[in-house]
Structure formats: structure tokens, C-alpha cells
Amino acid sequence: MNATLQSAATHPDHPLLLGWQESIRQAARSGQALALRGTGSKAFYGHPLHGQPLDTSAYRGILAYEPTELVITARCGTPLTEIETTLAQQGQMLAWEPPRFGLHTGAVGGSVGGMVASGLSGPRRMQAGAVRDFVLGLRLLDGQGRLLKFGGQVMKNVAGYDLPRMLTGSLGCFGLLTDVSLKVLPCPRHSLSLVFGMDQTTALACLNRWAGQGLPVSASVWQDDTLHLRLSGAEAAVRAAHQRLGGDPLPSAAAEALWTGLRDQTQPFFAPDERHLIRVALPDTAPPLAEPSPVLIEWGGALRWYRGDTALLARLRAQAAPLGGHVTLFRAAPGQPPAPVFTPLAAPLLRLHQALKHALDPAGVFNPGRMYQEF
């Protein structure tokens, strides 16, 4: 792997990168950890940051955008709102609807680097795919201050380790992502949201049945015996799906508020309180979990949110593991007993992560313990 990394090295082309290189090398020499931080919109996610802060928010701007090629390249500190405004002018979008936490408060609401580092996707992920499916290439500074390039700007540019996919969602533990190239998609021409009254068991059964029927379902959410479904695509396909499924149409303004509230977690269900916000990822065919706690279900049944205490977190992990799922302490509540944020890795996966950490960050400079205490 080291030979691969060396061959990927490039030269910095911005004064900020030169400064970051020196900060990284000094930290490696002194044994000082660096806490990477962009806009801070996801500072709650993962274990707490430790070390000397390194602010990446000033390194911003769109480097290249080719609407006909469906590719955009931007620096890590570029706000998501800037990317989405640029894409909207060409009728295009970030298809996975990345969360923009804090946007409703007047904050910047997330950056490109934080989006890739967190690996979080919004309601459309069930149809379009996850963040890692759209990362074509990236550059990052490793723990020796080398500027490395992986991937490119075309989907076929993959050889050896698919590091862009591996680094997506790694919370900055392996390197400082500087630039990223993303595949974008055209916006759907027509959308319609439907409302159904049904309990959780019925909703999961319907969602699984509909998933095999080729319907243009781009988002779903169930809560309190109400299922909302979003259809997106050509007008004829959306109209035909509505006739087939039934359901009551939701006014466009209410639909926009619903899906934006889910995407950015501004709905009341997500409001911080004395309970944890727990994220459960399961096969979409998994039955309802045996918990009376409040639950909100997205992605056709594959993403389930719970509110509760640390004991609930442990019970959910015990139930999810046999089903092939995993559980994340997404937003910890103050006053609750401490608990691991992420489901512990199996031994082979842990060894792989440790090997990657050693190759990219041998001195342990970047965000130590942000994901797991072992690296």
C-alpha cells in the first residue's frame, strides 16, 4: 500500500495546503493530535474530538463543474448550500440529499468535506444510493503531510484499493480531505407525496412489497401510524404509481417541509432532549423491533430512529446484530451513562482499519478515537 500512496502524491497548489502540511508534520514530530473541523455542523457525531484544532472552513470554492458530464469538484470547506445552488441552476442535484444540520438557525449548514467525512445521506438514499456511491475521487493530506490523490473524475477510474469509498464516513481519522469530485444527477421532473394511515407492521410489509414493483419511490417515512411516500420521476410514471398505490396527495408546500425536516433533522422527533437519538440500520425486510420507545422509520424500513436511554441502546444492539444490522449512538444526551458510539468492529475489519490508519497516519495525528479507541 505504501508504494501506492507514494505514487499518488501530488504538489500543493494553495497557500492553505502548505500551512496545513507544516502543521501536520510538526504534530507528527511532537506527538500532538490534530482535531479536524469544518463548519462544526456534525461536531455531535462520533466520540469527542481531542487535540489541536485545525480549521478547514477557509479552504473553499468550486474547482470544476461540467454539467454535461455530471461531475463537480470542490474544496473541502465549500458549503453544501453553495454546491446545491450551483447545481440547481443547471437542473441538477446531490442525489443522496446530504443533511445540512444547523441551516435553519442561520449557520452555514455543513461543508463538502464534512459531508464525505461523515458519510451521512438523507431521505433519497433509498432510491439513489449513499454518499460513497457518488465520490469519484479525492485528494487528502496524510499523516506525513503528503498530498495524495485517489480516483478521478470518471466512474471507471478505479484501480487497486478503492480508497475514496473507504475514506467516506471515516470522520477524518485517516487524513485531511482537501478536495473531492462528485457525480451529480438531474433533478426529477415531477414529485408527488402521498399519505397513508397504517401501523408499523403493515407499513413495513407494504414498503417491501412496493420495493419489488419498480415504482418511482424516492423517499418514505413512517411515524405514529402514518406513512408518507414520495414519488419522483417522469410525470406519467408518477401519475401511474399514484393510481396503483392510492393514498392521499400531500400539498407541495407541506411535502417540501416534511422531506426537508427529515433531511436536516428539524422535525420535533429529532429535537435534542434528555434522551439519546439512536440510529438503527437494518435490512429493509427486518420486522419491527420489540421496543415501545418512540420510533421513526425511513428508507423503506432500512433506517430506524429511536429515542431513549443507554439501556435501550444496548437492547437495540442485541436485537439488530442477529438481523445483520448495526446501531449508532447518533446524538448522545447529557447525563446518560457513556457508551460506544459505533457498533464494535469484527476482528478482521478492525485489523483492516488499523492497517489503513498505519499506512495513512502512522503517528496517529488525525482525530484519534473519533470512531474507535483502537485508532
Residue 173 is given by DSSP the state S
The answer on 222 and 74 residing in a single domain is no
End residue of a domain, out of 209, 228, 263: 263
Give the pTM.
Answer: 0.93
263-295, pLDDT tens digit by residue? 999 999 999 999 999 999 999 999 999 999 999
The answer on 275 and 244 residing in a single domain is no
Classify residue 315: in a domain, yes or no: yes
What Rg, from alpha-carbon coordinates, does the chain have? 21
Q: How far apart (Å, rounded) are the C-alpha atoms in residues 316 and 327?
A: 7
- Ranges under pLDDT 70 in the chain: 1-8, 153-161
Contacts of 333 (CB under 8 A, 6+ apart): 272, 273, 274, 275, 276, 277, 309
Classify residue 107: in a domain, yes or no: yes
Contacts of 315 (CB under 8 A, 6+ apart): 291
The answer on 103 and 200 residing in a single domain is no
End residue of a domain, out of 164, 186, 208: 186
Confidence (pLDDT) at 109: 85
The answer on 162 and 75 residing in a single domain is yes
Classify residue 346: in a domain, yes or no: no
Which is nearest to 174 in space by CA: 155, 154, 148, 151? 148
Q: What CATH number is associated with residue 204?
A: 3.30.70
The answer on 121 and 109 residing in a single domain is yes
Confidence (pLDDT) at 76: 97
Which is nearest to 354 in space by CA: 340, 341, 339, 371? 371
Range of the domain at 314: 268-331
For residue 88, report the phi and psi dihedrals to the nearest 5 degrees. Answer: -60, -30
Exposed e or buried b per residue across 227-262, where buried means at least 16 C-beta atoms within 10 angstroms of its C-beta: bbbbbbbeeebbeebbeebebeebeeeebeebbbbb
Confidence (pLDDT) at 63: 97
Number of domains in the chain: 3
138-170, pLDDT tens digit by residue? 999 999 999 999 987 654 444 455 788 889 999
The answer on 310 and 281 residing in a single domain is yes
Q: CA dist 125 to 15, 96, 117, 219, Å?
A: 36, 5, 17, 8
Confidence (pLDDT) at 153: 63
Classify residue 338: in a domain, yes or no: no
Classify residue 373: in a domain, yes or no: no
* Chain centre to alpha carbon of residue 276: 19
Q: How far apart (Å, rounded) are the C-alpha atoms in residues 80 and 82?
A: 5
75 in helix, strand or coil?
A: strand
Classify residue 347: in a domain, yes or no: no
The answer on 256 and 160 residing in a single domain is no
Classify residue 339: in a domain, yes or no: no
- Which residues on neighbouring strands pair with residue 308, listed in sequence order? 276
The answer on 135 and 17 residing in a single domain is yes
End residue of a domain, out of 294, 312, 331: 331
Identity (one letter) of the amino acid at 112? V
DSSP string, 261-307: HHHTT-SGGG---SSEEEEEE--TTPPPPS--S-EEEEGGGTEEEEE
Which secondary structure element, helix H or strand E, spans residue 221, and what is its range? Answer: strand 217-223
Q: What CATH number is associated with residue 81?
A: 3.30.465.10
Confidence (pLDDT) at 7: 44
Classify residue 374: in a domain, yes or no: no
The answer on 150 and 10 residing in a single domain is yes
Confidence (pLDDT) at 176: 98
Which secondary structure element, helix H or strand E, spans residue 338, and what is its range? Answer: none
The answer on 244 and 130 residing in a single domain is no
37 in helix, strand or coil?
A: strand
Cell digits of residue 264: 436536516
Q: Judge whether 289 and 280 are in contact, CB under 8 Å.
A: yes
The answer on 224 and 204 residing in a single domain is yes
